[in-house]
């Protein structure tokens, strides 16, 4: 299949490479020329703009940081809608506000373009492995049409409802992940202060009810003080801000989400916004005077 892929960041780059490995012809665009060159070396064909990438493809995928970036790449000057052919499908795999997805979909529909919102979970490691969890909103028939392609980037792809439902589901995911990471950091800081080895605690609890994918992935990073980003604090702040905005629109209180968002904002202010979200351990080190890692 001919695919226009727009956005080659931490997540988009490995996702595009997995599609190339699956045999698709990719026309790739990003404002970062080094990222384009990197994917070009793997077989991608560089495009000069989002419109150019879309004009050469039957399926268009966007993977960008936030709502304004997607709007610019799709609706703006030299955006995907300028080049997209009527009947093609746009799959936005960015994590953005559900209302933004609905706004973009209306503009796509006016030009005969079908759109799905399909954010992902799993971070860079799962993007590299091609085992992302993909949450999809939009037309069910369009979803079934592109599902085989999605499963070349992910281990699962679930249709969650109308346009925007994918991003609503992602907000739920990001709330649960953020609060889980904060709980791990809080508990392991307590163990360090109590004189109990966090590594032994990890081995003792990971097979029980407290065990989780988050615990398995993030506890070792905290114990090693390794905060190389798989998913950055600043991006998680963005997701929690979208969750809070959506919650205010529908009247659903999110007190725990608001608290963890402020913890992340503290880390951003301290210069750690580009760290992995497991760096919530740094917040607890700041307020407790004790690091989890040795």
**Catalytic residue numbers?**
170
User: Quick one: pLDDT at residue 285?
Assistant: 98
For the chain, how long is the longest CA-to-CA vector?
A: 64
Does 278 have pLDDT greater than 80?
A: yes
User: Quick one: pLDDT at residue 126?
Assistant: 93
Confidence of residue 230 (pLDDT cuts 50, 70, 90): confident
Across-strand partners of 3? 26, 59
Tokens of 135: 């949450």
Mean pLDDT of the residues in the chain: 97
CA distance 146 to 59: 8
Which runs of consecutive H residues, i.e. helices, occur in the chain? Answer: 12-21, 33-41, 50-55, 67-75, 80-83, 98-110, 123-129, 140-150, 165-193, 198-205, 213-224, 233-250, 255-269, 280-288
Q: Which long-range contacts (CB under 8 A, 24 or more apart) does 280-288 make?
A: 280/181, 280/182, 280/185, 281/185, 281/188, 281/189, 281/222, 281/225, 281/227, 282/227, 283/185, 284/185, 284/186, 284/189, 285/189, 288/189, 288/193
User: Quick one: pLDDT at residue 123?
Assistant: 86
Report whether 261 contacts 240 (CB < 8 A): yes
pLDDT digits (tens, 9 = 90+) for 187-208: 999 999 999 999 999 999 999 9
User: Quick one: pLDDT at residue 95?
Assistant: 93
Q: List the domains of the chain with CATH numbers.
A: 2-163 (3.40.50.720), 168-288 (1.10.1040.10)
Does 294 have pLDDT greater than 90?
A: no
Average pLDDT over residues 104-111: 97
Collapsing DSSP to helix, strand or coil, 224 comes out as: helix
Across-strand partners of 27? 4, 45
User: Quick one: pLDDT at residue 144?
Assistant: 98
The CA-atom distances, in angstroms, between 263 and each of 120, 192, 260, 270, 284 are 24, 20, 5, 11, 9
Average pLDDT over residues 125-151: 97
Report whether 79 contacts 60 (CB < 8 A): no
pLDDT digits (tens, 9 = 90+) for 50-80: 999 999 999 999 999 999 999 999 999 999 9
DSSP 230: S
Residues 6+ apart with CB under 8 A from 8: 16, 28, 29, 30, 32, 35, 36, 38, 39, 63
């Amino acid at each position: 299949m001919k695919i226009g892929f727009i956005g080659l960041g931490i997540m988009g780059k490995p996702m595009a490479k997995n599609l190339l490995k699956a045999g698709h012809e990719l026309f790739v665009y990003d404002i970062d020329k080094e990222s384009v060159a990197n994917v070009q070396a793997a077989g991608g064909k560089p495009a000069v703009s989002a419109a150019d990438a879309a004009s050469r493809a039957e399926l268009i995928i966007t993977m960008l940081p936030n709502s304004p970036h997607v709007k610019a790449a799709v609706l703006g000057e030299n955006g995907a809608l300028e080049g997209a052919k009527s009947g093609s499908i746009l799959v936005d795999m960015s994590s953005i506000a559900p209302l933004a997805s609905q706004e973009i979909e209306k503009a796509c529909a006016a030009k005969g373009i079908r759109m799905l919102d399909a954010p992902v979970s799993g971070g860079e490691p799962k993007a590299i492995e091609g085992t992302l969890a993909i949450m999809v909103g939009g037309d069910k028939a369009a979803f079934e049409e592109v599902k085989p392609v999605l499963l070349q980037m992910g281990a699962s792809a679930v249709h969650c409802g109308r346009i925007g439902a994918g991003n609503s589901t992602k907000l739920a995911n990001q709330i649960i992940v953020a609060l889980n990471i904060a709980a791990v950091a809080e508990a392991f800081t307590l163990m360090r202060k109590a004189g109990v080895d966090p590594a032994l605690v990890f081995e003792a609890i990971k097979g029980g009810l407290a065990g989780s994918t988050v615990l398995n992935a993030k506890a070792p990073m905290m114990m090693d003080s390794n905060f190389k980003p798989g998913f950055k604090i600043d991006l998680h702040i963005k997701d929690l801000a979208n969750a809070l905005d959506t919650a205010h629109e529908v009247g659903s209180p999110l007190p725990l989400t608001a608290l963890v968002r402020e913890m992340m904002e503290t880390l951003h202010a301290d210069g750690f916004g580009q760290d992995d979200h497991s760096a919530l351990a740094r917040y607890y080190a700041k307020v407790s005077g004790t690091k989890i890692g040795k």
